[in-house]
């Protein structure tokens, strides 16, 4: 319940014509299928007779009513049959336990005691006497249906057997849309029910909520179309390409609403013996919508400026002001209007350059995510500029899927005031206008040649783990010095390892140094020239950092901007302290670099449960809680450790030479940064909003939550970098923090070099 409240927030909208929007108005043919109301009167009376009793008494009358409504439909037009469902669903894609819809709408009738997976359930039905409980249960079904991965939206029906009211609940990644209550005792309510059920049962393909470019094959594999025969292709066809790719699940962030990031490994689709090729209903192919290549609405400089809420008064004093100042942050209304244009625009230019890469890549990574608008293209723009550099992924292509026209209509209803709050089902909050609450999102596919694996796989290889920390830090440093960006969300899902690791050529090393030291960095260049051990660090690449969706330009004035400043268990200690006290503080490269320590540190603790000491178990437990103070205490204890403070038989023992070097450096650097901030009277008012994942985010599921800082927050949050300082002070402060960032990179790399030497000596001793 708490998790769903945090996911959904205020994004529940009641729209009277939501069924018309999603399923289209009744056609003449469908009108002819509507049974005479008198023929259904006995079925409605039977359902009324079960009212007020246990919910189970309403199951069969409700099923008979739905069957009666569709009885006049031709059998080849009836896409859904409702059955009473008495077993729990076969799979648990949302991880929340065994669930059992009261009725299930499937292509074929379900036999008694038959268990089916969520991928076969087209519609779920919940019967409950309390609106609040019934709505929450409906949302859990919708979350499971969306997690299958082939749906634009998840449709659920909720029936209250006491009030005899039926609701249609339609869950998208950017909001929950519900019908008004249909009173199944009144004639008007019965007519509305008849029309809704008829359209839902005759809908197929995208009208039924299915994503046009995906389908589930006979073996239950999620497939992505890339051929022109069945639907327009996301990817350019090649001579070696087949029409379909299978998407093997790698990772996902579970949620009903929000980014819902899903990562797949793509492979060529191959049929199994006696299985047909993936197919779709030929009658609906003409309705499929083509996925669109990204169309950039504004130039890169304007996007970057808007993403970070840039203000002219805080430009670096030593940098000239641009000739054209960026526009102010768009109002919620303008943001929704721009989103509508993006998802409906058909005139899109091709993004070339991927066909050759697809030919040579044996398997590549597909990341599917619903990103907040207008920051949906930030990750692409950042990774394009970093592609192939040390610690950075190789981007093949990024495309925006062409969304159903119905989604644009939902935005139009919000703008026109024809939507309202569903207070009878959801009483979360009444603050803010619906326009401000609505968070438009864009479905983006990104394809990477870099195939990554969870960094936890390196838990038994301390040397490789040390290299992985080094690679991640270098990737973040390159982003910082080359593009002036900080990541702000370094988590275990965003740090991935290569298997096997990749060698770096001299040209690769030169490219890395150029990216790091484009404006000169004598200390780094001197170490590379004179210290062979230091240069050896650059010859191997074991890991990379990805997901730059939350990145911002670091040295500009930004209101508390869209997205988080870290996930608490991986946050830097000083940033977490400010979070615990409800304060706001600038996020710097030092915070990202410290997160590179906490991510593998957490994975090492988690990988060896049998070796954990009592103190280590307490640390790991605190990391998985919502108690920020407890996490602070654990990290504070670690920051005060000295190199000899560890137990030989413990989870951290094998990698302690790494932590004993990195953690003291992190502590020292943070103290230097605090000193710098205090010198310039950095504002730390308790009234200022925090820029982080919302409270309750102490688990990995926090990543699934909708990002804070939507358009409605921009007017309420004034966490300006200017604060009590002047523009000149800020310029000096940024210069000092940049100097401290260079020092941090050198200190960390030298410490990692020493730790790797210890690990290599240990390996040689073990081999003798």
Tell me the pLDDT tens digit for each residue of 281-329: 333 322 333 333 323 233 333 333 333 332 222 222 233 333 333 345 5
Whether the Cβ atoms of residue 544 and residue 474 lie closer than 8 Å to each other: no
Which pair of tokens denotes residue 129? 């006497």
pTM for this entry:
0.79
Sequence-distant (≥ 6) Cβ neighbours of residue 261 within 8 angstroms: 251, 252, 253, 367, 368, 369, 493, 547, 703
Could you tell me the pLDDT band of residue 52, with boundaries at 50, 70 and 90? confident
Work out the mean pLDDT of the chain and round it to a whole number. 79
Q: Whole-angstrom Cα distance, residue 254 to residue 243?
A: 29
Question: Is the model's pLDDT at 162 over the cut of 80?
Answer: yes
The per-residue pLDDT for 761 is 95
- Compute the average pLDDT of residues 534-556: 90
Q: Which two tokens stand for residue 139?
A: 């949302």
Mean pLDDT to the nearest integer, 449-468? 92
- In three-state form (DSSP H/G/I as H, E/B as E, the rest C), the secondary structure along 133-179 is HHHHHHHHHHHHHHHCCCECCEEEEEEECCCCEEEEEEEECCEEEEC
Q: What share of the chain is helix, strand, coil (3-state, %, to 5)?
A: 45, 15, 40
Q: Please tell me which residue, 486 or 732, carries the higher pLDDT value.
A: 486
Quote the pLDDT of residue 69.
Answer: 96
pLDDT digits (tens, 9 = 90+) for 247-290: 887 777 777 788 888 888 887 777 665 544 444 333 332 233 33
Q: Which residues contact 701 (CB under 8 A, 6 or more apart)?
A: 3, 253, 254, 255
Please answer whether residues 407 and 172 qualify as being in contact, where contact means their C-beta atoms are separated by less than 8 angstroms: yes
For residue 117, count other CB atoms closer than 10 A to its CB. Answer: 15
pLDDT of residue 643: 67
DSSP H or E segment with residue 244: strand 244-252
Share of the chain above pLDDT 70, in %: 78
Query: Whose structure tokens read 């945090």?
Result: 6
Does residue 357 carry a pLDDT above 50?
no
User: What region, left, alpha or beta, does residue 681 occupy, with left being phi > 0 and alpha being psi -120 to 50 degrees?
Assistant: left
Q: Tens digit of pLDDT for each residue in 360-383?
A: 345 778 888 899 888 889 999 999
What pLDDT score was predicted for residue 327? 42
Query: How much is the average pLDDT of 63-73?
Result: 95
Percentage of the chain surpassing pLDDT 90? 43
Tokens describing residue 427:
């009483």
In this predicted structure, the answer to whether residue 114 has a pLDDT above a threshold of 80 is: yes
Ranges 127-131, 151-155, 172-176, 319-323: which has the least confidence: 319-323
């Amino acid at each position: 319940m708490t998790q769903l409240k945090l996911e959904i927030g205020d994004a529940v909208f009641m729209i009277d014509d939501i069924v018309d929007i999603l399923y289209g108005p009744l056609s003449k043919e469908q009108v002819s299928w509507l049974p005479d109301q008198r023929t259904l009167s006995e079925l409605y009376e039977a359902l009324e007779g079960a009212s007020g009793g246990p919910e189970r008494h309403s199951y069969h009358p409700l099923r008979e009513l739905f069957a009666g409504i569709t009885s006049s439909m031709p059998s080849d037009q009836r896409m859904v049959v409702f059955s009473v469902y008495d077993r729990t669903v076969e799979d648990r894609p949302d991880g929340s336990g065994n669930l059992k819809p009261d009725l299930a709408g499937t292509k074929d009738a379900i036999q008694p005691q038959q268990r089916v997976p969520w991928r076969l359930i087209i519609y779920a039905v919940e019967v409950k006497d309390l609106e609040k409980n019934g709505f929450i249960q409906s949302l859990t079904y919708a979350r499971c249906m969306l997690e299958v991965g082939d749906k634009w939206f998840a449709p659920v029906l909720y029936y209250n057997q006491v009030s005899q009211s039926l609701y249609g609940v339609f869950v998208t990644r950017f909001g929950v849309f519900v019908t008004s209550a249909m009173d199944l005792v009144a004639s008007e309510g019965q007519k509305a029910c008849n029309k809704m059920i008829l359209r839902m049962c005759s809908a197929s393909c995208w009208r039924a909520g299915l994503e046009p470019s995906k389908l589930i094959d006979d073996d239950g594999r999620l497939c992505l179309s890339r051929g022109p025969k069945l639907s327009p292709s996301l990817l350019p066809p090649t001579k070696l390409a087949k029409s379909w790719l299978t998407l093997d699940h790698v990772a996902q962030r579970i949620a009903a609403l929000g980014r819902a990031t899903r990562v797949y490994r793509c492979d060529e689709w191959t049929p199994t013996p006696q299985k047909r090729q993936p197919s779709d209903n030929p009658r609906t192919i003409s309705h499929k919508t083509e996925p669109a290549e990204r169309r950039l609405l504004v130039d890169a400089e304007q996007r970057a400026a808007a993403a970070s809420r840039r203000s002219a008064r805080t430009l670096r004093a030593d940098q000239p002001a641009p000739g054209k100042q960026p526009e102010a942050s768009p109002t919620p209304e303008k943001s929704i209007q721009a989103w509508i244009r993006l998802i409906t625009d058909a005139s899109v230019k091709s993004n070339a350059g991927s066909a050759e890469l697809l030919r040579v890549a044996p398997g590549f990574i597909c990341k599917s995510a619903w990103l907040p608008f207008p920051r949906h293209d930030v990750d692409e723009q950042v990774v394009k500029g970093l592609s192939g550099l040390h610690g950075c992924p190789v981007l093949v292509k990024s495309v925006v899927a062409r969304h159903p026209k119905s989604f644009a209509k939902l935005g139009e209803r919000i703008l026109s005031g024809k939507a309202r709050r569903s207070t009878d089902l959801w009483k979360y909050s009444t603050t803010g206008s619906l326009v401000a609450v609505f968070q438009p999102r864009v479905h983006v596919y990104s394809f990477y040649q870099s195939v990554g694996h969870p960094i936890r796989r390196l838990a038994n290889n301390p040397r490789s783990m040390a290299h992985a920390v080094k690679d991640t830090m270098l990737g973040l440093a390159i982003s910082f010095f080359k593009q002036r960006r900080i990541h702000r969300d370094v988590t275990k899902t965003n740090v991935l390892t290569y298997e096997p690791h990749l060698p770096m050529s001299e040209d690769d090393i030169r490219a890395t140094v150029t990216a790091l030291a484009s404006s000169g960095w004598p200390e780094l260049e001197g170490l590379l020239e004179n210290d062979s051990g230091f240069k050896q660090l650059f010859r191997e690449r074991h890991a990379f950092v990805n997901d730059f969706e939350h990145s911002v330009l670091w040295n500009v004035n930004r209101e508390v901007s869209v997205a988080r400043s870290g996930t608490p268990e991986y946050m830097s200690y000083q940033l977490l302290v400010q979070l615990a006290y409800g304060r706001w503080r600038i996020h710097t490269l030092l915070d990202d670099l410290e997160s590179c320590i906490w991510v593998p540190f957490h994975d090492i603790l988690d990988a060896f449960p049998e070796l954990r000491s009592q103190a280590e178990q307490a640390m790991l437990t605190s990391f998985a809680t919502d108690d920020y103070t407890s996490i602070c205490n654990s990290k504070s204890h670690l920051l005060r450790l000295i190199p000899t403070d560890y137990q030989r038989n413990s989870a951290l023992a094998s990698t302690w030479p790494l932590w004993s070097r990195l953690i003291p450096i992190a502590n020292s650097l943070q103290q230097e940064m605090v000193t710098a901030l205090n010198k310039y009277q950095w504002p730390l008012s308790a009234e200022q909003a925090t820029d982080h994942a919302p409270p309750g985010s102490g688990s990995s599921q926090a990543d699934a939550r909708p990002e804070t800082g939507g358009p409605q927050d921009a007017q309420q949050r004034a966490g300006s970098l200017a604060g009590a300082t002047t523009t000149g002070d800020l310029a000096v402060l940024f210069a000092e923090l940049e100097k401290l960032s260079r020092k941090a990179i050198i200190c960390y790399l030298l410490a990692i070099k020493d730790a790797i030497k210890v690990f290599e000596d240990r390996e040689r001793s073990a081999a003798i």
